[in-house]
Amino acid sequence: IAIGLAMVHSRRLLGRFTRVERLAPAIAVASAVIVLGLGVALTWRAASGVGVLAQAGVVETAASPALPASAQTKPRAAGFSPGAVRVLYQVLDAQGMYQLFSVPAAGGEPRMLTQTPFGIWNYAIAPDGQTVVYAALRADRGSDLWAMDAEGGSQRLLLACPEAACRNVTFAPDGGRLVYERLDISPENVDGAATLWSLDVAGGETAPVFQDASLPGFSPAWSPDGRWLSYISPGMPTRIQLYDLTSGRGFDFVTLTSMRVVWEPAGRALLLTDVDPASLREGQQALTHLLRFDVDTEALVDISGRADVSDSWPAWSADGEWVAFVRRVFADGQPERGNQVWVMRADGREARQVTAAENALHQNPVWSADGRFLLYHRYNLAEPLAKPAVWLLDVTSGDAREVVNPGSQPAWLAGAEP
């Protein structure tokens, strides 16, 4: 899995440091297949006897978090209207580097927000929508954390990371603290493992999340109630780890995909994407399903509901009642061309398809605050070397329109003027 993930990340670095245009989406699809194949091959034997869909168990906390539980209240979203918000997204600039742009959700001229010499790695928006933190790449392939306001102003260095790549930020619900990955890029880090660190946004103090600073982990996600921290623990097998920051109790799950979990807005449940063991029979393609874990009942349930589908990219609606996701349907063992966006109830009921674009590859759906609209990006598979475009879907009417092309990884930027 680690090798496959490195291949995916190296594809992005290749485009940035050699300024070579990537063969998206063909390379992205091929990389995903390689990642999945390597993950299954390397992990299946190690995980044999451990059912991926089995009941999750409470485990002893291997290392007590040094990170204190933060404020428990997440700010409420303001009243929503597509005409009153902007969309944040990333796109390649003229030098082949990813930069952040914004555009009115109702349509209009894009606004360039970052102009970093070596591009950005990724970004996160603070819970109040007023601050964006992004990982700015450097010439040595490390990255520092920078912050700006929702308009792209007040750009400032938040955290310098010499001889390290700091990235993949997750905010505490009150926005006062964040957790990030720190990857040592010095030659001494022979295993290439990242560790998790916390940062006080106002004061600038940073420290390892765990008392054992060498404990590896990546893809952190803070629960919206501030109680839980989830992350991926590399190893054989790779595991999803959940830690209660107030009590120290924890859960873990074997994972064959190493995909980041997605927390319910109330923080009482989460969704993870993993391989359906039934699809691992000889000669069949491995399919991914969506699993829901309830932290109170400790129940882990497959909510995909069908054996002939591969589901991914889950996203909760703001009220926690609905889940948007991307589904690829298989017929007689053969997949449909591309995929579609679907929605379903949080328990898997009432699943329905909400897009119908032919020859399209959809990714990264994001709900609006009122639960009526979805942002996502999609590739047109009928076009050679197609670039992604950002789309907006009215879930109620089914109307969809292109917001900006090219563009990817969209998010609602409620703190910016339209």
DSSP character string of 135-204: EEE-TTS-EEEEEEETTS-S-EEEE--TTEEEEEEEE-TTSSEEEEEEEE-STT-TT--EEEEEEETTT-
Residue 74: pLDDT band (50, 70, 90) is: very low
For residues 280-307, average pLDDT: 91
Residue 20: pLDDT band (50, 70, 90) is: very low
Length of the chain: 418
Q: What is the DSSP string of 202-253?
A: TT--EEESBSSTT-B-EEEEE-TTSSEEEEEE-SSS-EEEEEETTT--EEEE
Question: What's the confidence (pLDDT) of residue 236?
Answer: 86
C-alpha–C-alpha distance, residues 143 and 136, integer Å: 5
Residue 285: pLDDT band (50, 70, 90) is: confident
Ranges 40-44, 107-111, 187-191: which has the least confidence: 40-44
Q: Considering only CA atoms, which of 254, 341, 323, 331 is closest in space to residue 287?
A: 331
Ranges 22-26, 304-308, 358-362: which has the least confidence: 22-26
Residue 283: pLDDT band (50, 70, 90) is: low
Residue 354: pLDDT band (50, 70, 90) is: very high
Mean of the per-residue pLDDT values of the chain: 84
Decide if pLDDT at 75 tops 90: no
Distance of CA 381 to the CA centre of its chain: 23
The ranges assigned to domains in the chain are 67-209
Tokens of 25: 């989406």
Residue 248: pLDDT band (50, 70, 90) is: confident
Q: Does the bond joining 187 to the residue before it have cis omega, within 30 degrees of 0?
A: no
Stronger pLDDT, 349 or 55, i.e. the higher one: 349
C-alpha–C-alpha distance, residues 147 and 61, integer Å: 33
Tokens of 248: 């120290």
Question: What's the confidence (pLDDT) of residue 59?
Answer: 37
Decide if pLDDT at 317 tops 80: yes
C-alpha–C-alpha distance, residues 229 and 179, integer Å: 9
Stronger pLDDT, 76 or 331, i.e. the higher one: 331
Residue 187: pLDDT band (50, 70, 90) is: confident
Tokens of 279: 């699809």
Decide if pLDDT at 407 tops 90: yes
C-alpha–C-alpha distance, residues 309 and 276, integer Å: 10
Tokens of 417: 């003027």
Decide if pLDDT at 79 tops 80: no
Q: In DSSP terms, which residues pair with 90 in a beta bridge?
A: 100, 408
Query: Rounded to two decimals, what is the model's pTM?
Result: 0.83
Find the helix or strand (DSSP H, E) in which 40 lies: helix 26-47
Stronger pLDDT, 178 or 65, i.e. the higher one: 178
Helix (H, G, I), strand (E, B) or coil at 344: strand
C-alpha–C-alpha distance, residues 244 and 83, integer Å: 39
Give the pLDDT confidence of 114-152 residue by residue, as tens digits: 999 999 999 999 999 999 999 999 999 999 999 999 999
**140 contacts: CB under 8 Å, gap ≥ 6:** 163, 185
Decide if pLDDT at 169 tops 90: yes
For residues 195-214, average pLDDT: 96
Decide if pLDDT at 185 tops 80: yes
- The CATH number of 67-209 is which of 3.30.365.10, 3.40.50.2300, 2.120.10.30, 3.40.640.10? 2.120.10.30
Residue 350: pLDDT band (50, 70, 90) is: very high
Question: What's the confidence (pLDDT) of residue 31?
Answer: 46
Decide if pLDDT at 323 tops 80: yes
